[in-house]
Structure 1
């Protein structure tokens, strides 16, 4: 069985002609979308189906013909459920043209084209009347307009318009209502994603600047698989609160609102983070509820349905504040038409926005990485090994603290290339906050553009990087450092140290607990033929000659390693990038039985002899194959299609070929699952 894939790292030229770029992005959006996850969400589908049957029954009981409006129909699945339940006519609205085309094919294949009309428009553009898209207003409103934050896909404006222009005054809605829940917690792990902590560098300590310490941060929602944030990692300061409720069967307002939740603190601690999720009630009696609650809220956590299209949200307070057990407090949630934010003040709070620039320069995993004291200590240990009193250091990472480390540890001269203005401003403020202004020279432009004058006529003795580049998506995109090192060769002393001195690409074949669902074929869903979705995705995959690896934060997605982890390619940064392609071939035996869903890949860096940093496994693989992944970086996943059952008898192997194409800055990969030779 053969699987192939490749990627083009940041900075490389796309071989697709410029006029095809829009089409290519469009096809890749389809190929990478997670429609399958939603269609495989049996809990969601069954509860929608029950709610639709009940709503259709209530309208029929009033003696009315059932006219359904399905906004955001996607595959047309909910409309087909409605017709099966007895609806007389469905108007299925879908703004995304390829999806609307797929919905037409699905509806036709299932024999519902006479009762379901697909409308390829945004719902706010739909008209009613003899010459309109709808002949009459509807009396059943079905929607699936929700995201992790509930309202982030524009649900409120869409409902507001639908009730005003497309629905009858007396109508049924599925879902009938939604409830948003919140819990105030102290969680140092999550808090480290939004605020920079003081860092110990040898005997010294680097401090964040004041604006960063009190910044409200990014307003963008932080969505996570909260089931993977165990309760023992946080202290619950409040009970689970009902933040607010939206009744979808009545007129809905998209105007900004603030809702208040008063409570008595159930223990003392630091108020840092609000955990939030929602549920949707499919009927007026709340007898059919689809919940997004994390698994640890269930009496039996294993019974919690898994889904990736809807997760849970983490909201960071602007500053942490002390809470005393028994204290009366108020959590306020405000929202506009697209987003939520929380505060501890009773009145409306302004929408958070970053004023310190750091939350624009560093994403949340990057904050966590910078706050990882263990990782900092590895870099400090490596720098201590290579720095001399006369060392001239040059850093080429984006928004890195390595230049500050090098100066504190005694380097004579430190230069840092900061290609982006805001990144440079963040580092300038950190230097000022630690009385290091002027001690580190910040250089503008790209590393390959540096001149002898930029370096004040000095030769570099230590070229360093984490390496971290803000444009990187997949682990090997950091090989950009190798190209920078090659371009800077003329500026290096003959005995210059390059840190890290090498990188290695590691792989392991895995069985995912649930992540495989996002790429599983749709086939049939709740008895309906939705194979047109598989065909659309396949055409998008075929647009390129090969499939690609995808970036995923695997700490959120449990898996078992079925093979040992192994380094399959090594990149020697002490030498320049080779001009000819470099290939690596080999195989890994399956040492554990299971269903192989894909191959995980990550980079590990050898900073100096004996000092390494991993962007993949954070600990050795467990006896049963359990994997603990670094939470700071995304790993690459190549999904096998189809997955394959593999015994642990040594008779089956994962055969691989990797080829690094220097001229394209591309890594091509090829996999076979074969009997052992």
Structure 2
């Protein structure tokens, strides 16, 4: 049976299906997993071991043999902890085939093969009995089935099944319970990720969002982020931190939908918009061993907050913002199904705990077209002012404009700043409907013509006989993953060459790729070898990851929102490639080689990469660094686009004297639309 997978194709501006060999799942899942991050999470590991040891002691104190069921064993680490703590036998369940194979190897290498049985199944398929996977029901349940939202990986159905079919009555569980916390806040920054705001153009003109978008309850999914990187100065707490609900994992668990409420007095007047949420897990019944997901700014010393990427914090957007006054009684309600949570706010004290509230769903389609970073980008005032300023520079009263970007407001802004005629290519039918709503709301439906076709299909007839004098793009394409994928604009410009006037303006006129050697505060952990973890040899996991990286990820960059992952620039930003949109796409590859000196002391973990677009001779927009790197290397990154990160095979300790450097070798292949790359540290 043939297997296909989706891969970004920058030359086509979409997702291409490619045939993959039978090992695809193995390579894709392992290379991009968070196993390394989890194994490096010492706080998590220590507290799991403390909780497991305490549970084993409680069972032994009752005079029982200890049988452990470990669901989602991964590397087998928690099972090995259980046996080390005195468990008589452990059943380690892992559904992912390559991971189960790794667990078997790791368990054997550490000398536990006679006490740990790895079961390569989903826990709901495990059977108990003389001919079953387990000889007897277990009396300790150990799991790590949680995600940022706690229940998003199907924890509730798995616990429900385990208690009914696999566990003894009155069993112990590690973790013992989980608690969900939430805080109601007002935040212009966070709210801009879910609602399109008016844009001031000029001469009193404003681009208004359509009523359907304003009244829409938004996307139903959680926004999971490193909330520690959202400054408390960027939001106002309107209420206390509320305990919303708890789940006791040692008792039968239900996956049925339920609602819980917390009533409190508003602490500050404002607009209730956003709910910040996280959870903690008690590893023991007494709650003396706690693993918390609270952001670092909740700690007296923020440096004490453990860093994790496999578990973060959650941002939920209320279906609509609500004005609240200090001292007013309100009720915050959370509802969950078997996989997700959502929140609502009411000023009615009669709302009772247990009544189910409908899951918010997008009705305006904008939340299906634009993701959260895209909403933030469209609402960015500085960015919008830059585009409007650039349009004023290039537009004339007889300008004929053609826009190329996905779900873009740039063609509308061009019409509002004086272009004679504006066309915009919008291939997606859903995206076209959203833009049409905006045009109708602003009485511009006759001013901007939307073309539902590919750039190479556009003819003079589609342009009503006009030749394009201004070809524009942000550029933004929803299928782009890495910074240079936006070069699809160049492919479109080339395909449209025959529709352009001889001296047509191209906006942006060019793009430049920048690189910078960086030291990450924490992100390096996701690619760092584990070696020995809490005294157990887990090198087979490192071997699997490296094999996967060699297979697909080697010599490739990863997309990351670097505003969430603090780093220091150890080199200065270096422009390494410029792409001239004034000319058509070249047929031959573009190559660039050189080195960037390491000017600051620190450990160089990798290279950050981003694009800067030259809108006009005077106006440049960066999709990476927003400010010059400070003297000590501090960086401020654009929150709207992902930057590229290339992790070095081995990190490098820099003394910062400029003698050592990051060497680069880059080749842009116009046939593929991608960049082949290699980085290394060169020393004298």
Q: Given the alignment of the two structures, is residue 424 of structure 1 paired with residue 425 of structure 2, yes or no?
A: no
The residue aligned with 1:566 is 574
**How far apart are the structure 1 equivalents of 2:17 and 2:423?**
38
Mapping of residues 122-271 of structure 1, within 5 Å: 122-203=122-203, 204-271=205-272
Q: Is the 8 A contact 2:11 2:671 kept in 1?
A: no
Q: Deviations over 1:571-597 (max 9, x none)?
A: 000000111111111211111010000
Following superposition, the deviation at residue 439 of structure 1 comes to: 1.2
> Residue 608 of structure 1 aligns to a residue in which SS?
coil
Q: Deviations over 1:85-120 (max 9, x none)?
A: 010110100111111011000000000011101011
Q: Which runs of 5+ in 2 are unaligned?
A: 1-6
Q: Is the 8 A contact 1:218 1:353 kept in 2?
A: yes
The residue aligned with 1:445 is 453
Following superposition, the deviation at residue 20 of structure 1 comes to: 2.1
> Residue 20 of structure 2 aligns to a residue in which SS?
helix
Following superposition, the deviation at residue 25 of structure 1 comes to: 5.6
One of 506, 514, 521 as aligned partner of 1:513 = 521
**How far apart are the structure 2 equivalents of 1:511 and 1:38?**
20
Larger RCO (CA within 8 A; separation ≥ 6): 1
Mapping of residues 17-32 of structure 1, within 5 Å: 18-20=18-20, 23-24=23-24, 26-32=26-32
**How far apart are the structure 2 equivalents of 1:224 and 1:360?**
19
One of 389, 394, 410 as aligned partner of 1:386 = 394
Q: Deviations over 1:551-604 (max 9, x none)?
A: 000001110000000110000000001111111112111110100000000000
The residue aligned with 1:111 is 111
**How far apart are the structure 2 equivalents of 1:246 and 1:630?**
38
The structure-2 alpha-carbon separation of the partners of 1:593 and 1:641, relative to structure 1 and needing over 3 Å to count, comes to same
The residue aligned with 2:642 is 634
**How far apart are the structure 2 equivalents of 1:517 and 1:585?**
29
The structure-2 alpha-carbon separation of the partners of 1:673 and 1:288, relative to structure 1 and needing over 3 Å to count, comes to same
The residue aligned with 1:94 is 94
Mapping of residues 253-652 of structure 1, within 5 Å: 253-345=254-346, 346=351, 347-544=355-552, 546-652=554-660
> Residue 543 of structure 1 aligns to a residue in which SS?
helix
Following superposition, the deviation at residue 547 of structure 1 comes to: 3.1
The structure-2 alpha-carbon separation of the partners of 1:273 and 1:602, relative to structure 1 and needing over 3 Å to count, comes to same
Q: Is the 8 A contact 1:595 1:645 kept in 2?
A: yes
Q: Is the 8 A contact 1:8 1:664 kept in 2?
A: no
**How far apart are the structure 2 equivalents of 1:553 and 1:365?**
10
- What's the TM-score once normalised by structure 1's chain length? 0.97
**How far apart are the structure 2 equivalents of 1:410 and 1:12?**
32
> Residue 431 of structure 2 aligns to a residue in which SS?
helix
- What's the TM-score once normalised by structure 2's chain length? 0.96
Q: Is the 8 A contact 1:592 1:625 kept in 2?
A: yes
**How far apart are the structure 1 equivalents of 2:679 and 2:39?**
28
**How far apart are the structure 2 equivalents of 1:557 and 1:130?**
51
Q: Is the 8 A contact 1:183 1:238 kept in 2?
A: yes
The residue aligned with 2:4 is none
The residue aligned with 1:672 is 680
The residue aligned with 1:4 is none
Following superposition, the deviation at residue 50 of structure 1 comes to: 0.2
The structure-2 alpha-carbon separation of the partners of 1:311 and 1:449, relative to structure 1 and needing over 3 Å to count, comes to same
The structure-2 alpha-carbon separation of the partners of 1:301 and 1:253, relative to structure 1 and needing over 3 Å to count, comes to same
**How far apart are the structure 2 equivalents of 1:428 and 1:60?**
68
> Residue 422 of structure 1 aligns to a residue in which SS?
helix
Q: Is the 8 A contact 1:265 1:329 kept in 2?
A: yes
> Residue 544 of structure 2 aligns to a residue in which SS?
helix
**How far apart are the structure 2 equivalents of 1:478 and 1:423?**
18
**How far apart are the structure 2 equivalents of 1:44 and 1:25?**
27
Q: Is the 8 A contact 1:603 1:616 kept in 2?
A: yes
> Residue 356 of structure 2 aligns to a residue in which SS?
coil
> Residue 240 of structure 2 aligns to a residue in which SS?
coil
Q: Is the 8 A contact 2:13 2:488 kept in 1?
A: no
> Residue 38 of structure 1 aligns to a residue in which SS?
helix
Pairs aligned (count): 670
Q: Is the 8 A contact 1:179 1:278 kept in 2?
A: yes
**How far apart are the structure 2 equivalents of 1:205 and 1:13?**
31
Q: Deviations over 1:102-140 (max 9, x none)?
A: 100000000001110101111011111111111110000
**How far apart are the structure 2 equivalents of 1:21 and 1:427?**
41
The residue aligned with 2:57 is 57
Following superposition, the deviation at residue 546 of structure 1 comes to: 3.3
**How far apart are the structure 2 equivalents of 1:667 and 1:51?**
48
Following superposition, the deviation at residue 150 of structure 1 comes to: 0.2
**How far apart are the structure 1 equivalents of 2:332 and 2:23?**
46
The residue aligned with 1:33 is 33
